[in-house]
Amino acid sequence: MTSEAVNTAAGGSTATGTGADTIVDAGTRGVGANVGRPDGVPKVQGRFAFSSDLWADDFLWGHTLRSPHASALIRGIDIGPAVAMAGVYAVLLADDVPGCLTYGLEHGDQPALADGQVRYVGEPVALVAADHPDIARRAAEAIVVDYEVTEPVTDAEAAPTADPIHPDGNIFREIAIRHGDLDVTGEVVVEGVYEVGMQDQAFMGPESGMALPDEDGSVELFVSTQWLHVDREQIAACLGIDEEKVRLTLAGVGGAFGAREDLSLQVHLCLLALHTGKPVKMVYSRDESFLGHVHRHPAKMWYRHHADRCGRLVKVEARIVLDGGAYASTSSAVIANASCFAAGPYKVPAAHIVGLAARTNNPPCGAMRGFGAVQTCFGHESQMDKLAAALDMDPVELRLLNAIAPGDRLVTGQVITGTFPTAEVIRQCAYAPEPEIPPSDDRRDLPGGSGRTTDAADTVRGTGFAVGFKNLMFSEGYDDYSSAACRVSDGVATITCACAEVGQGFVTLAQQIARTELGVDEVILAPAQTATIGSAGSSSASRQTWMSGGAVQAACREVRTQILADMAADWGVSPDGLVLRDGLVVSLDGQQEALLAQVTAGAGYEADVEYHHAPTEPLDENGQGNAHVSFACAAHRATVDVDPDLGLVRVRDITTAQDVGRILNPTQAVGQIEGGIAQGLGLALMEEIVLDDGLVRNASFTDYVIPTTLDMPDVTIAAFVEEPEPGAPYGAKGIGEPPTISSSAAIAAAVRAATGQPLPRIPIRPADIALG
Amino acid sequence: MSDVVVARSLDEAQGALADHPGATVLAGGTDLMVEINRGLRRPSHVVGVAQVPELRQWSIADDRVIVGGGVTYTEMMTTPLADAAPALAQAARTVGSPPIRNAGTLGGNLGTASPAGDTLPVLAALNAKIVVVGPDGERRMALDDFVVGVKRTSLRPGELIVRAEMDRPAGRQEFLKIGPRNAMVISMAGLALVADHDARAVRCALGAVAAGIPRARVAEAWVAERIDWDNGAGVDDEVAAEFGQRVAAASSPIDDHRSTAAYRRHAVAVLATRALKRAFTEEGAADA
Ligand SMILES: Cc1cc2nc3c(=O)[nH]c(=O)nc-3n(C[C@H](O)[C@H](O)[C@H](O)COP(=O)(O)OP(=O)(O)OC[C@H]3O[C@@H](n4cnc5c(N)ncnc54)[C@H](O)[C@@H]3O)c2cc1C
């Protein structure tokens, strides 16, 4: 086995970025082909094994007792009544955590179990393991916790000056971006205050997993997560054992969208398993799931845009406040993103952007698809429309006039060196043919849908447009590498990578890549685990196609090189004249040919690589620096029908164009785009965690509503704008997040266009329109 | 961990309830199982009634529609029941999703007695009598006497909801409901309106905007005098708007996590105005 690091800092060996790289041979099942996903049919038929389906002999059920208070001191806990119940095997408290009590992705400030104090509703306080899930639940209810309730801090703007609710203080991060001449002013100035509610990732498969203890004190955990290795690191620290003693395997994941980046039940399961000596399983209920993971940060944003009389942006000022909730999670990275991308994909010569992520007694907020860019996109796009109105200019022309392009600088001073076809994306989307929406007698096609509230005569139509962008991969100097191994034996390729398949389609793509690189058809994807392979990084930040795709590609190429070198030696020719194709090693001159299965008989060949993206830098005290690897943008045009009297909305069409670099699997690309738009629609019109003094009022799918098929319109993909990205494997950019970033803003703009109301807040509630 | 009896006849169900008067009735389970799964209810005895033929019956007469407690939403949406009680079918269509409509029943909606129960305003507007049987025999009561508070009924231990008997007036029926999305929602405000051309009456009842299911009786009487029953065509826009305001006065909504009192009151007025106009179009008159 060889081990090697591949660095593609300057385009490197992995991609040409010119489009000359062979992508597909149509009709093959390689890269670029419409290969069906192996998990697709089982999922639709209900045969896919999710992490909630795990089973073992003689296992116990775990349950978590959670805080009912947003802020309280714990004066005492009486576990006696729970311990006394028949069928209860363990009741654990903070004192039972053998290692470090706290964990966290960026700052370890979150206790695995509350230690004398609770800081949000839902904070884990005690754990129970019992031989029946209902007994575990009842035992948890029987635990008597003596709380001294204290006044919660629930306003993020007031938090920095309030008494600290955590030893680390109430500020996760303050960031200032100062760019260009801050004294300039524009001839035309528009100002606005915007708000975004707290969205939930609302994945379908609740948190679940199973831990199995080993006699040697190690533990095996099967769990749905986004990043196995970072889970392992945090779990081992809490358990106080070596990382090698914690072995994770990815179990079937029912969606993630950022909500599985932080730990939920991982430490709890391992604690219970090691304590009882038995396998322990946990499955959160839907209600519990809403309390058991982080949400999208709610935002308050003040903006002032300056432009010259022709509409050229002169300066953007913004102040962004994100409510990070009780613990740090990824707040400091989210506020960095929100601030870095606050001005949108535009050329902005001067910018003063101030971002604050504050700690409150609200539920913790962290990663969610779009990661900070969603909130500020709603802000900057609302401002661009306002500016267009002030200039009496077409909003699309205003955007085209200011669209950023390669060679331009972001407000962080970073020069765009990769592809960034913002103007083309705007044009393709905005100038696509108007959707054909035939008049319908069916009230289900109208606002109010099956509720029969609205006739066509009660509606007005509006169209809105928005464009947004964000970074791909982690930023600010973070080296989020990925690892992969490839083995070819008897003509069959086996790929090992710890990349978490969370629904994005990596399992399909990894096989496509191996086929393309090795000329084989059969590719086995080994389970994602921590025992035999290094970290793949997180399935987030639109990064796995690039990073783990890159690792798989590099591992395959390394094996290919080995095989060709040996065959070249055998045949006495140069390896440059040899290729792998159709299960054969062939020489391009047609003189030599061998079956790959024979060449790789037995042990075969293998390679194990680490793949790194080009390094980035931290931001300096003025928020300047080359902090990001690459960028992608998308545009959305929404057409909506609104019933202004009742404030009800039916989105009729979303047309989109997206900067994708290169499409590696068209169906999967469409899936990401449609799904991302549905999530954006949800944020625009309905999805919000409703809080009342820190208490979640709608922790269920009864009251936290997400779009149904009667809410989702047809999605028209006007164009995949394919400009291969230098340095990216096959030139492909991540495509998971951009669909969510600007779709919300486009829908809000369309509702404004229909109603003439300012609507500065999403989600837009019926009362905001009807009584606004 | 519950003791479950699956009854195959009304007698069996009544017998099981007589043995355990505290037993919980299970029909489609779309409310009850949610509560059990959330740990809010832990019944020791359960009597399943989904397979009781007597509860699954319905019948249509000239002036009456009778719907058994075990009739599902899907059945309510199907002809001929749907034609005989159109507002009931419209309300049924707004309930949940197809699987919920296949399992959920009228009796269950009554048993839960939520102000947001979508069939309840229809039953109120159709002057329904709720028929229950129990150890004390049969009782018949108006919806007002059956639903006595938020999720509270006057059902006594051991009693079963057997059927609802409703009017079948000559005239249009309308059910309208507002939720936070276009399908599968808990009502933020709902309204049933029935035109009765023989009685020259309009009946209108409200859902999700009060502790019970209020009938807008003052508004009903007011508008009945302003409709040209003889010619039957259309209603004046101003009358419809004023009717809306008067119906809204019958609501007593609250602020909660689903909506605000102000919006609900406003919405009721809009729904009432629209329902009235729909009920008194020219075709509406022809139907009557
Ligand atoms: C996803 C989902 C969506 C929903 N959407 C809606 C909606 O849009 N509108 C709406 O109104 N409701 C909705 N509901 C609630 C529910 O479906 C209805 O209230 C339904 O009518 C309940 O009927 P069931 O047969 O399932 O009742 P069950 O759950 O079996 O019983 C409900 C209650 O009624 C009692 N009960 C049932 N039958 C009888 C009887 N014959 N005699 C005495 N007591 C009885 C039970 O003991 C229990 O207390 C929804 C539920 C879910 C899960």
Residues A534 and A634 in one domain: no
ω into A575 cis (within 30 of 0):
no
The mean pLDDT value for A715-740 works out to 98
Residue where one domain finishes, among candidates B108, B134, B167: B167
Q: Is this model's pTM higher than 0.90 or not? A: yes
Q: Does A703 touch chain B (CB under 8 A)?
A: yes
Q: How confident is the model at residue B281 (pLDDT cuts 50, 70, 90)?
A: confident
In a domain, A454, yes or no: yes
Same domain, A574 and A717: no
Give the residue-averaged pLDDT of A318-322: 98
Confidence check: pLDDT of A27 > 80: no
How far is the centre of ligand 1, averaged over its atoms, from the C-alpha of B117 (Å)? 8
| Domain limit, last residue, from B137, B167, B197 | B167
Is B69 close to ligand 1, i.e. is its CB under 6 Å away? yes
| SS3 at position A681 | helix
Same domain, B59 and B148: yes
User: Which residues on neighbouring strands pair with residue A146, listed in sequence order?
Assistant: A76
Query: Are B88 and B72 spatial neighbours (Cβ–Cβ below 8 Å)?
Result: no
Q: Is A440 on the interface with B (CB under 8 A)?
A: no
Residue A94 lies in a domain: yes
Judged against a pLDDT cut of 90, whether residue B169 lies above it is answered with yes
B160 and B75 in a common domain: yes
Residues B17 and B132 in one domain: yes
**Under an 8 A CB cutoff, do A703 and B258 touch?**
yes
- Is residue B212 within 6 Å of ligand 1 at its C-beta? no
Q: Which residues contact A414 (CB under 8 A, 6 or more apart)?
A: A625, A626, A627, A628
pLDDT at B262 over 70: yes
The answer to whether B94 contacts A452, with C-beta atoms less than 8 Å apart, is yes
φ, ψ for residue A146 (rounded to 5)?
-95, 100
* Nearest residue in chain B measured CA to CA from A444: B182
Kindly provide the ipTM of the predicted complex, given to two decimals: 0.96
Nearest residue (by CA) to ligand 1, atom 35, is B111
Residues A467 and A396 grouped into a single domain: yes
Q: Is the CB of B34 under 6 A from ligand 1?
A: yes
Q: Could you write out the three-class secondary structure of A374-435?
A: HHHHHHHHHHHHHHHHHHCCCHHHHHHHHECCCCCECCCCCECCCCCCHHHHHHHHHCCCCC
Are both A249 and A351 inside the same structural domain?
no
- DSSP H helices, B20-85, are 32-37, 73-76, 81-84
Q: Is the CB of B118 under 6 A from ligand 1?
A: yes
Residue whose C-alpha is closest to residue B275's, from B91, B114, B127: B91
pLDDT tens track for A260-295: 999 999 999 999 999 999 999 999 999 999 999 999
Average pLDDT over all residues of chain A: 95
> What CATH number is given to the structural domain containing B157?
3.30.465.10
**Confidence band, pLDDT 50/70/90 cuts, at residue B101:** very high
| Mean pLDDT, residues A488-510 | 97
Angle at B88 between CA B87 and CA B89, to 5 degrees: 90
A113/B223 Cα distance (integer angstroms): 63
Total domain count for chain B? Answer: 2
Inter-chain contact A646–B1, Cβ cutoff 8 Å?
no
Per the structure, the complete domain to which residue A526 belongs is given by 480-611
Q: What is the pLDDT of residues A39-52, one digit of tens each?
A: 999 999 999 999 99
CATH classification at residue A634: 3.30.365.10
Q: Assess whether the C-beta atom of B115 lies below 6 angstroms from ligand 1.
A: no
Report percent pLDDT > 70 for chain B. Answer: 97
> Could you tell me if B163 and B26 lie in one domain?
yes
Q: Which of B36, B112, B123, B184 to mutate to test the pocket of ligand 1 (most atoms within 8 A of CB)?
A: B112
Contact B257 A285 (CB under 8 A): no
Q: Is residue A574 part of a domain?
A: yes
For residues A223 and A220, give the distance between their C-alpha atoms in angstroms, rounded to a whole number.
10
CATH number for the domain that contains residue B269: 3.30.390.50
Q: Is B108 in the pocket of ligand 1 (CB under 6 A)?
A: yes
The verdict on B145 and B229 lying in the same domain is no
Residues whose CB falls within 8 Å of the CB of residue A442, separated by 6 or more in sequence, listed in order: none
Q: Are A304 and A405 members of one domain?
A: yes
Whether A444 and B259 lie within 8 Å, measured CB to CB = no
Q: What is the mean pLDDT of residues A701-716?
A: 96
Write out pLDDT tens, residues A519-577.
Answer: 999 999 999 999 999 999 999 999 999 999 999 999 999 999 999 999 999 999 999 99
Q: How far is A160 from chain B (nearest CA, A)?
A: 28
Whole-angstrom Cα distance, residue A64 to residue A113? Answer: 10
- Which of A141, A697, A710 faces B257 most closely, judged by CB atoms? A697
Are B11 and B146 in a shared domain? yes
The pairing of beta strand B137-142 with beta strand B147-149: unpaired
B146 and B9 inside one domain = yes
B259 lines ligand 1 (CB under 6 A): no
How many domains in chain A?
Answer: 3
* Residue located via tokens 């150890």: B135
ω into B80 cis (within 30 of 0): yes
Domain membership of residue A383 (yes or no) is yes
Residue A539 shares a structural domain with residue A665: no
Q: How far apart are CA A525 and CA A515, in angstroms?
A: 12
Range of the domain at B205: 173-287
A271 within some domain: yes
Among A285, A442, A450, which would you mutate to test the B interface (most chain B Cβ atoms within 10 Å of its Cβ)? A450
Which of residues A255, A283, A311 is at a domain's end? A283
Same structural domain for residues B133 and B199?
A: no
Residue A486 to residue A514: CA distance in whole angstroms? 8
A365 and A508 part of one domain? no
Which pLDDT score is estimated for B1? 56
Given this model, what pLDDT does residue B38 score?
85
Mean pLDDT for A727-742 is 98
* Nearest-by-CA chain A residue for B191: A453
Q: Let me know whether A680 and A566 are in one domain.
A: no
Does B103 lie in the same domain as B66? yes
Task: Give residue A765's Cα distance to chain centre.
Answer: 26
User: Does A23 have pLDDT greater than 50?
Assistant: no
Q: Is A646 on the interface with B (CB under 8 A)?
A: yes
Integer angstrom CA distances of residue A556 from A18, A96, A519, A550:
21, 46, 10, 10
| CB-nearest partner of B181 from A444, A646, A705 | A705
pLDDT greater than 50 at residue A15 = no
Residue type present at position A613: H
Per-residue pLDDT tens for A391-435? 999 999 999 999 999 999 999 999 999 999 999 999 999 999 999
Structure tokens, A429: 């989307």
- pLDDT classification of A6: cutoffs 50, 70, 90: very low
For residue A640, what pLDDT band results from cuts at 50, 70 and 90? very high
Residues A720 and A574 in one domain: no
Q: Is the CB of B72 under 6 A from ligand 1?
A: no
What CATH number did the domain enclosing A131 receive? 3.90.1170.50
In this complex, how many residue pairs, one in chain A and one in chain B, have their CB atoms less than 8 Å apart?
Answer: 102
Q: What is the DSSP string of A584-600?
A: EEEETTSS-EEEHHHHT
Q: Determine whether the shortest distance from the Cβ of B30 to ligand 1 is under 6 A.
A: yes
Chain A residues with CB-CB distance to B267 below 8 A: 646, 766, 770
Ligand 1 center from residue B118 Cα (angstroms): 10
Mean pLDDT, chain B, integer: 95
C-alpha span between A755 and A747 (Å, rounded) = 12
Q: How far is CA B264 from CA A451, A476, B92, B109, B177, in A?
A: 15, 48, 21, 22, 11
Q: Are A401 and A491 in the same domain?
A: no
| Ligand 1 nearest-atom number relative to CA B132 | 42
Domain C-terminal end among B115, B140, B167: B167
Given an 8 Å threshold on Cβ–Cβ distance, is A453 in contact with B263? no
Under DSSP, is residue B131 helix (H, G, I), strand (E, B) or coil? strand
**Which of A283, A305, A322 is a domain's end point?**
A283
% of chain A surpassing 70 pLDDT: 97
Residue B75 near ligand 1, beta carbon < 6 Å? no
Q: Are B258 and B157 in contact (CB under 8 A)?
A: no
- Closest protein CA for atom 7 of ligand 1: B95
| Residues A516, A31 contacting (CB under 8 angstroms) | yes
The sign of the CA dihedral B271, B276, B282, B284 is: positive
CA B249 to ligand 1 center in whole angstroms: 29
- Top residue of B1, B44, B112, B181 to mutate, by most chain A CBs within 10 Å, is B181
Q: Does A711 touch chain B (CB under 8 A)?
A: yes
- Say if residue A519 is exposed, middle or buried (CB neighbours under 10 Å; 0-12, 13-18, 19+): buried
Select from A234, A257, A283 the last residue of a domain.
A283
Amino acid at A131: D
pLDDT (0 to 100) of residue A251: 98
pLDDT higher than threshold 70 for residue A490? yes
Q: Is the pLDDT of residue B66 over 90?
A: yes
pLDDT in tens, B23-54: 999 999 999 999 998 888 989 999 999 999 99
A332 and A355 inside one domain:
yes
Q: With a cut of 70, say whether residue A19 has pLDDT above it.
A: no
CA–CA distance, A586 with A592 (Å, rounded to integer): 6
B127 plus B211 within the same structural domain:
no
Task: Answer yes or no: is A451 within a domain.
Answer: yes
| pLDDT, mean of residues A572-596 | 96
Quote the pLDDT of residue A12: 29
In a domain, A538, yes or no: yes
> What is the pLDDT averaged over residues A634-638?
98
- Same domain for B92 and B231, yes or no, is no
Mean pLDDT of B62-91: 98
Residues B130, B28 within the same domain: yes
Q: Are A654 and A638 in contact (CB under 8 A)?
A: yes
Residues A531 and A491 in one domain: yes
For residue B36, the CA-to-ligand 1 centroid distance in Å is 13
Are A484 and A610 in contact by the 8 Å Cβ rule? The answer is: no
In a domain, A741, yes or no: yes
Contact A690 B257 (CB under 8 A): yes
Residue A2, CB-side half-sphere exposure with 13 Å CA sphere: 16
